[in-house]
Amino acid sequence: MNFSDRLRKALYNSKLSQSELARRLNVKPQSVQQWLSGKNFPRHLRISEIALTLNVAESWLTMGIGPMPDIDLAQHGENNTKMYKKPPSLPVYSWLDIAKSQDLFDLDHTKHEAIDRPFPCSKNAFSLQICDDSMDPYFCIGEYIVVEPTTDIETPTEGAQHCFVVARAYNEPNAVIRQLVKLDEKPYLLATKPCGRIKLSKFDDNWALYGLTIGKIELYYESGGKQGA
């Protein structure tokens, strides 16, 4: 099942029409038709909006990783839908916690805080706060990323949507977020800077892979502000 197949399935389960999805995303209906036909792929930030609108995990929509939207809540009646209204909170870890963990799927002992889940994700998903500008403009300082733990991610093909991973070089103390790309049929980890500098690292046995970034959260604490984006 490819991206267009998963999008078609999520759209069907959402009960939205193609035109209604286009209206909510503020795009042309032709764009939705091209996504569904596989003729074009939406940008990474647009995929986040699509997943949120269709109430599916971004990791499942982009890579087929994570919970599949097989449940139609409307079929279960009002009493049964109560269990879906307040999903468990999302644990927030430090980058050093991730690097030191021997078992990424059992990090409860290092939990510092928790935030509301912005979209469906597995029980092992967690959050990290962006603390530098190495991945601007995709992720900015202060934003929280949502990570789906995995040690097996296929390198995206040319023209596919962006893929961001959390990994750590074995000679470094902290984990980092990087874009996974393929150059000359080999996987590389890409970091960028606002000034235009690009840093490429070959993704080989010198790196430990921790998870796939499936979305982000912007938290606003000013008076009258809101949480989540």
Task: Decide: pTM greater than 0.85.
Answer: no
Tell me what pLDDT residue 227 has. 42
In this structure, is the dihedral angle defined by the CA atoms of residues 150, 104, 162 and 14, taken in order, positive or negative? positive
Tell me what pLDDT residue 196 has. 60
Q: Which fold has domain 90-217?
A: Umud Fragment, subunit A (2.10.109)
Tell me what pLDDT residue 79 has. 38
CB contact set of 4 (below 8 Å; sequence gap of 6+): 35, 36, 37, 38
Tell me what pLDDT residue 12 has. 87
Rounded CA-CA distance 131/124 in Å is 22
Tell me what pLDDT residue 75 has. 38
Instruction: Collect the ranges in the chain with pLDDT lower than 70.
Output: 1, 44-45, 66-88, 102-112, 119-120, 155-161, 193-196, 218-229
Tell me what pLDDT residue 27 has. 86
Tell me what pLDDT residue 15 has. 86
Tell me what pLDDT residue 30 has. 87
Tell me what pLDDT residue 107 has. 59
CATH of domain 3-75: 1.10.260.40
Q: Where are the domains of the chain?
A: 3-75, 90-217
Tell me what pLDDT residue 76 has. 34
Confirm whether 3-75 and 90-217 share one CATH topology: no
